[in-house]
Amino acid sequence: MMYIHIPFCKQKCSYCNFHFSTSLHFKDEMLTAMKKEIFLRKDELQDKKLQSLYFGGGTPSILSSDEIKSLIDEVLKYFSFEKDIEITLEANPDDLDKSFLKGLSNSPVNRLSIGTQSFFEEDLKLMNRAHTASEAEGSIKRAQDFGFENLSIDLIYGSPTSNLEIWKENLNKTIALEVPHISSYALTVEPKTALENWISKGKVISPKEEEQNKEFYYLSDFLKDNGFEHYEISNFAKPGFYSRHNSSYWKYKEYLGIGPSAHSYNGFDIRSWNVANNQQYIKKLNSNLLAKEEEVLSLEDQFNEMIMIGLRTIWGVDLENLNEKFNHKILEHFQHEIKSKLEQEILIIENNHLKIPEKHWFMADGIASDLFFV
Ligand code: SF4
């Protein structure tokens, strides 16, 4: 699978600490550099037949449909696509006008992940999103009119501008729009964001964990009652609509990340990441050099990662795999750490997979970190 990071956004959302630039000044140079990177790394993936291609960001929909197509064509020069490849484009509602969607519907892109976040103006204003509540709704309907059935939307819960009643309304609107996949995250206060600054100055109150907890469990129950499967802490899908790309991440498959700040993984012990700086990235690629650094993951790192990722999913951690992969010292530590959690039923074993029962998913990161080998 391949990930392509488009490092541009129209404006900075108040909660975001991803890598992007709000200046499109070097967009053409960036696209040229990314195509160069695709060429230079053409031998890195063992499996040349891609099952998924994912445009994330930043804001991929800031590009024209022709620019997106030209990137896909470049990938196709060096890799082939599985017949039913999933090609996802992250898109912001304000970009999904008729002419963009028309162009996109004539491209190989077959899945959209729309950054809706909320259908309420107050939430969107606090988040400093570039779209309005009516655009949030209109963009989904328009995408469906242009034949995009495999749609995901992002929703953020636990904003200080929201409450359980507003959250319920958000979810009712989502169900009415018949979207088959939802990714939903708690609003978190990241360092060096506008949101953090406003909270520190007392202009905005902090999101409340108790409220977020309530909204998370309402979300989970409500979506399951409406035919969704809760397959990862933050992800819900109707049958047949799991994100193939993200599911592969969660199953530790290899992936290649193109573009500034993109990460790659060889499916075993090497992780690499590109420089999170547009100018430095372009300069390197202009000189036919890769702009990446890499680390070799120790066995302990691999163990911690497997626990962290697996316990966030419906599949859990495959104990047979774990026993094959890790040494006696790590496995002894693991058995010791899970013992009391199994007794308390914070962890369970089903079909030789270690899982967190769904009622404890909100605490999954804390439970996983208790098992880490440090
Ligand atoms: S559009 Fe996405 S990447 Fe860009 S600032 Fe907003 S949240 Fe961050």
| pLDDT tens-place string over residues 256-308 | 999 999 999 998 899 999 999 999 999 999 999 999 999 999 999 999 999 99
Distance 301 CA to ligand 1 centre (A): 29
Residue from 6, 14, 16, 154 whose mutation best tests the ligand 1 pocket (most atoms within 8 A of CB)? 16
pLDDT, mean over the chain: 96
Task: Indicate the domain borders of the chain.
Answer: 2-250, 299-370
Which DSSP helix (H) or strand (E) runs through 180?
A: none
The string of pLDDT tens digits covering residues 81-103 is 999 999 999 999 999 999 999 99
Average pLDDT of 95-112?
A: 98
Percent of the chain topping pLDDT 70: 100
Percent of the chain topping pLDDT 90: 95
Q: From the alpha carbon of 16, which atom of ligand 1 is closest?
A: 8
Rounded to a whole number of angstroms, the CA Rg of the chain reads 21
- Is 157:187 a contact under the CB 8 Å cutoff? yes
Average pLDDT of 363-369?
A: 94
The string of pLDDT tens digits covering residues 336-361 is 999 999 999 999 999 999 999 999 99
Going by alpha carbons, the residue nearest to atom 8 of ligand 1 is 16
Distance 323 CA to ligand 1 centre (A): 40
Residue 370 confidence (pLDDT): 96
Distance 18 CA to ligand 1 centre (A): 7
Q: Is the pLDDT of residue 249 over 90?
A: no
Alpha helices in 128-163, H assignment, sequence order: 133-145
Residue from 5, 9, 261 whose mutation best tests the ligand 1 pocket (most atoms within 8 A of CB)? 9
Average pLDDT of 239-247?
A: 95
The string of pLDDT tens digits covering residues 46-93 is 777 999 999 999 999 999 999 999 999 999 999 999 999 999 999 999
Question: What band does 190 get if pLDDT is binned at 50, 70 and 90?
Answer: very high
- Is 119:169 a contact under the CB 8 Å cutoff? yes
Residue 268 confidence (pLDDT): 87
In whole angstroms, give the CA distance from residue 356 to residue 337. Answer: 14
Alpha carbon separation from 326 to 39, 248, 329, 357, 363 (Å, rounded): 35, 21, 8, 25, 26
Residue 356 confidence (pLDDT): 97
Residue 348 confidence (pLDDT): 98
Distance 274 CA to ligand 1 centre (A): 19
Residue 19 confidence (pLDDT): 86
What residue ranges line ligand 1, CB within 6 angstroms? 9, 12-13, 16, 18, 20, 57-59, 92, 115
Residue 48 confidence (pLDDT): 75
- Is 73:109 a contact under the CB 8 Å cutoff? no
The CATH code of domain 2-250 reads 3.80.30.20
Average pLDDT of 217-227?
A: 97
Closest CA to 357 of 342, 336, 373, 372: 342
Q: From the alpha carbon of 15, which atom of ligand 1 is closest?
A: 7
Fold of domain 299-370: Arc Repressor Mutant, subunit A (1.10.10)
Residue 208 confidence (pLDDT): 95
Distance 9 CA to ligand 1 centre (A): 6
Residue from 6, 14, 18 whose mutation best tests the ligand 1 pocket (most atoms within 8 A of CB)? 18
Distance 258 CA to ligand 1 centre (A): 18
And the tokens for 366?
A: 């804390």
Residue 46 confidence (pLDDT): 78
Q: Is the pLDDT of residue 251 over 90?
A: no
Question: What band does 131 get if pLDDT is binned at 50, 70 and 90?
Answer: very high
Nearest 5°: the CA angle 7, 8, 10 is 155
